[in-house]
Every structure is written in structure tokens, then in C-alpha cells.
Amino acid sequence: MTTLYEAAFAKLNLTLDVLGKREDGYHDLQSVMQAISIRDDIEIDVGTGKPWKLLCTAEDIPTDEKNLAWKAAKVFCDVLKKNPDGLEIRINKRIPSGAGLGGGSADAAAVLRALNRYYDEPLSVMALAELGAEVGSDVPFCVLCGTAMVEGRGERLRKLPDMPDCVFVVCKPDFSVSTPELYQKIDTVAIADRPDNRAMEAALLAGDLGKIAENVCNVFDPVVTSEHLELNYIKSIFHSYGALAQQMTGSGSAVFAILENFEYAAVACNMLKDNYPQVFIAKPV
């Protein structure tokens, strides 16, 4: 038996635009995504000689074939015709679920990377990301990590220049948002403010943190905030302590801020901790 270890990094949507509904029922997206240092830790025992098993430290996470990490292992083994002779996947969960941080996708991506390494890397990173699209929309990016433009349903990736040095504070309020319901809602509202992804790319190319912050934009943010005004409270705390930008990530409900230094980030974090237990400080990875 061999034990594999892999980190599963959360993601933020620096920009997120919904371009329209496709014939298959999904929506075309355009998003600049960023991997951050909030992480789950994945351990995989290969060759247990027993039926597949998944364990997770969080109680609300499925531990059967519904879990994306399990799905990822199955897709990898099926497509590459590998027989691991029994797997046990253990997830040490730190990324909040229902937050828009891609926790389940990050776990799936970590499983794909770990198994690919175990079998002497039969797939390139981009081929592995392509395989990840069969598991979930955010999995391809979570395989790649770093900074990238993500398009289509999440399957089209283009690497972008790394984010300049900064600090993120991420706050997950007590509520979560139904992603399918939010997509239904976005089809019925007029989107007043869309991200300028060209400007975001130019800012990343220049390594200009101020310009990156200016171009942070998520079309879902006003839709969710209109029903959950406490997001404005969280953003106001971030703004008070020098955040260059504050924005919801993904379909929510976590809000992130971009700050220039750790000291202000720590103060903002402490100000929110009493009301919001799930507050994190992170760096780009």
C-alpha cells in the first residue's frame, strides 16, 4: 500500500461574467480565477485491497460516490484503465462549503494530481485539467491553480501572469446560496455592471495591484447582496481597514478583500471574527 499526499487550494473569482445560457442548459462564463492558500489536505491510500472508501473531517460532506473527489478518482481510473486495487481517500477539510471557494472541486483536482503523479504522469497538466471537466466546472482551474482566464463551462483555460504579492481576507457568512437558483435568477435580471476582463488581464500583465483591484467584478454579487444585506456590512469592514477591493466570490456566499499588507488584514479579520467564525487570511498561490 502507498499513501499519497496532496494540497487542495481554494479559488477566488477576481472577475465573473455570465454570457448566456447554452443549449445544454449550462451557462457560458468568463472569469479570471485565482488560487489562494486556504486549503484542504488530501491523503490517498492506493492498493488497500479493500472496497473504495472516503473519509472527511467535515460532517456535512458526502462520503460516497457523490463526492467530487471520489468521482475524480473513478474518472481517472476509468479513462486511463488503471486498477488501484482499492482506494481510501481522506479529506482534512478547511475550505468552507457553500462559499463559492471551490472546495469540492479543489479536492477533486488534488486527487487527479496525486493519482497522475503516482502513475508517473501519463497526462500533462492541461490534459489533466481537461479530464477534470468531466467531474465539475471548477475542477479544471483547480488542477491548474495560479491565475487563469476560465471560459465556457469552465473547461477552457488560459494561464495569466501571476497575481502580484498581496493579502486576501475571506469571510464566509452563516448562509449559503443555491447555485442553480442563482443562475435562474441571473437570467431574469438586467446586469448593470459587467467585468472588463481585458483591463484585468492588462493589470495582471503590468503587475499593478491597484488596477487589478479596480477591475474586480462579479455579476452575481449585487443579485445576492440585494437579498443578504449583511454582505454590505462585511464589505464595509474590509473597506474601513484599507481594502483595495471587496467582492463576493463565485455564487457566494463568501466575500473576499484584497489588501496590501498583513497588519491591516489581521485587524479586519479580528473585527469580523466575533460575528463570523469562518474568517481566513490567505495569499495567492
pLDDT per residue over 194-250, tens digit each?
999 999 999 999 999 999 999 999 999 999 999 999 999 999 999 999 999 999 999
Out of 17, 40, 107, 138, which one is annotated catalytic?
138
Contacts of 30 (CB under 8 A, 6+ apart): 15, 16, 17, 19, 149, 150, 151, 195, 197
Q: 260 and 242 in contact (C-beta within 8 Å)?
A: yes
Distance CA 258, CA 280 (A): 12
SS3 (DSSP) at 228:
coil
Contacts of 173 (CB under 8 A, 6+ apart): 228, 230, 231, 234, 253, 254, 255, 276
Confidence class for position 36, pLDDT limits 50, 70, 90: very high
pTM: predicted TM-score of the whole model, two decimal places: 0.95
Antiparallel, parallel or unpaired: β 156-159 and 147-152: antiparallel
User: Which residues is 284 bridged to in the sheet?
Assistant: 36
Confidence class for position 28, pLDDT limits 50, 70, 90: confident
User: Which residues is 40 bridged to in the sheet?
Assistant: 8
Q: Is 11 a catalytic residue?
A: yes
Out of 11, 71, 172, 235, which one is annotated catalytic?
11
Distance CA 223, CA 202 (A): 27
Question: What is the per-residue pLDDT for 183?
Answer: 83
Q: Is 85 a catalytic residue?
A: no
